[in-house]
Amino acid sequence: MSWSLPTGDHKNGALHAVITPTIAYGKGFGNFDLQGTFGVGLPTVDTTLVRRNYAWNNTFQYRVFRKFWPEVELNSTFFQDGKNDGQKQNFVTPGLVMGRFRLWGRVGFTAGGGYQIATTHFHTSNHNAILSIRFPF
């Protein structure tokens, strides 16, 4: 469960709070794993302006040399209400995650990157470089 709060005006940030219940799943098969999430953004007010988004994300990874994880991610968003009502978009993101590298105690370091490519006619962005840095414990 996540909750985002208003952060600014209409040009920079959200106008209303959004609650996002999400379910996550995953399964490993030796060096191969798949994981994903499905969630829905529920605006607290004014759904015709803020809109509802249904986000579905699946990632397929294969471990190489214990610390390298080449992956392909499929990321779909379905829009309800608002200016994009009835639209859907999908992205494919080939990438590489490296880690977990131990820093101290239980704290580790993981870094990953990828390149997001739109695969549907409708999309709100395209050709995005993605970087993820994490400190799992």
Helix (H, G, I), strand (E, B) or coil at 49: helix
User: What angle is formed at CA 42 by the lines to CA 12 and CA 83, rounded to 5 degrees?
Assistant: 60
Residue among 5, 40, 9, 36 nearest 22 (CA): 40
pTM: 0.79
User: How many distinct structural domains can be found in the chain?
Assistant: 1
How does pLDDT run across 56-113, given as a tens digit for each residue?
Answer: 999 999 999 999 999 999 999 999 887 888 999 999 999 999 999 999 999 999 999 9
Instruction: Kindly report, residue by residue over 18-62, the tens digit of the pLDDT.
Output: 889 999 999 999 999 999 999 998 888 776 666 788 999 999 999
Nearest to 87 by CA among 98, 75, 76, 73: 76
Query: By residue range, what is the domain housing residue 26?
Result: 2-134
